[in-house]
């Protein structure tokens, strides 16, 4: 297994109230799976994705990545873990406005020990892969939403992460650009990438190999697509 969550719980506590965002979640993902996560607003999808991305910590339970327990690691070790293993794609692209597309992509390689020539190669490969190479010197504001999301995918894949986490990657795109983004994610998955994607689109969820539905902080359905 690439990832294994067991008995994951996430409580938010304030002085007056306690909200249980995730209850007793058991979930595992194999290398090269493409999993879509669905569920109504407030059901716990963001909390779930944040825990998978190690941006948030569970209140209790175990999260193992390649057999290694992550919940006991300190923040610095986790940051190094994220850089090496995870790629993130967001609904709002999250590109840095005053950096060119190629510089935005290069940022994902910061603090990694990769020689300069190899960096160039990797960045060129990532841009080619999403069809954005001709926009390398442009700034995000000069690109359409679809192009910005493709650049953000290049940033997510340039470090060759073991897991790609996508939070409603087509949520801000029109149908045509959304389909292009899904085509790219499917192609990456066909090439072996492991992807976990939150989506509100049943059509896009159907393109993944497995669909998981969350309701009130629990996994209520997990179905694999027919081959
Ligand atoms: P979704 O992404 O499916 O909309 P979330 O994971 O954002 O759901 O939220 C799950 C539940 O946890 C909701 O009831 C939400 O109000 C609560 N929640 C999320 N973040 C916090 C927080 N920082 N403090 C308190 N409650 C939170």
CA of 44, closest atom in ligand 1:
6
CA of 57 to the centre of ligand 1 (A): 14
What pLDDT was estimated at residue 111?
78
CA of 180 to the centre of ligand 1 (A): 30
C-alpha span between 133 and 27 (Å, rounded) = 37
12 lines ligand 1 (CB under 6 A): yes
User: What is residue 172's DSSP assignment?
Assistant: T
C-alpha span between 93 and 40 (Å, rounded) = 22
**For residues 59-68, b (16+ Cβ closer than 10 Å) or e, as one string?**
eebebbbeee
Residue of the nearest CA to atom 21 in ligand 1? Answer: 12
C-alpha span between 100 and 139 (Å, rounded) = 4
CA of 41, closest atom in ligand 1:
4
46 lines ligand 1 (CB under 6 A): yes
C-alpha span between 202 and 199 (Å, rounded) = 8
CA of 46, closest atom in ligand 1:
2
Range of the domain at 170: 3-224
Residue 156 sits in a domain whose CATH number is 3.40.50.300
What pLDDT was estimated at residue 113?
83
Residue of the nearest CA to atom 24 in ligand 1? Answer: 12
Q: pLDDT tens string for the chain (227 positions)?
A: 999 999 999 999 988 899 999 999 999 999 999 999 999 999 999 999 999 999 999 999 999 999 999 999 999 999 999 999 999 999 999 999 999 999 999 999 987 888 889 999 999 999 999 999 999 999 999 999 999 999 999 999 999 999 999 999 999 999 999 999 999 999 999 999 999 999 999 999 999 999 999 999 999 988 887 65
C-alpha span between 178 and 183 (Å, rounded) = 9
C-alpha span between 37 and 125 (Å, rounded) = 29
Q: How many domains does the chain have?
A: 1
What pLDDT was estimated at residue 184?
96
């Amino acid at each position: 297994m690439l990832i294994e969550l067991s008995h994951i719980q996430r409580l938010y506590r304030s002085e007056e109230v306690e909200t249980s965002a995730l209850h007793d979640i058991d979930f595992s993902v194999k290398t090269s799976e493409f999993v879509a996560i669905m569920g109504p607003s407030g059901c716990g999808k963001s909390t779930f994705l944040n825990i998978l991305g190690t941006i948030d910590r569970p209140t209790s339970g175990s999260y193992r990545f390649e057999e290694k327990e992550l919940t006991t690691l300190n923040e610095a070790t986790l940051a190094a873990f994220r850089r090496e293993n995870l790629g993130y794609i967001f609904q709002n692209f999250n590109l840095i406005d005053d950096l060119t597309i190629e510089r935005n992509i290069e940022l994902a390689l910061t603090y990694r020990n990769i020689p300069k020539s190899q960096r160039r190669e990797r960045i060129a490969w990532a841009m080619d892969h999403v069809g954005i190479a001709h926009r390398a010197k442009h700034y995000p504001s000069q690109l359409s939403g679809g192009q910005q999301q493709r650049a953000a995918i290049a940033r997510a894949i340039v470090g060759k992460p073991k897991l790609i986490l996508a939070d409603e990657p087509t949520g801000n795109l029109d149908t045509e650009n959304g389909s292009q983004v899904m085509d790219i994610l499917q192609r990456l998955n066909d090439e072996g990438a492991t992807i976990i994607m939150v989506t509100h689109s049943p059509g896009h969820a159907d393109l993944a190999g497995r669909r998981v539905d969350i309701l009130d902080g629990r996994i209520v359905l997990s179905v694999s697509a027919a081959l």
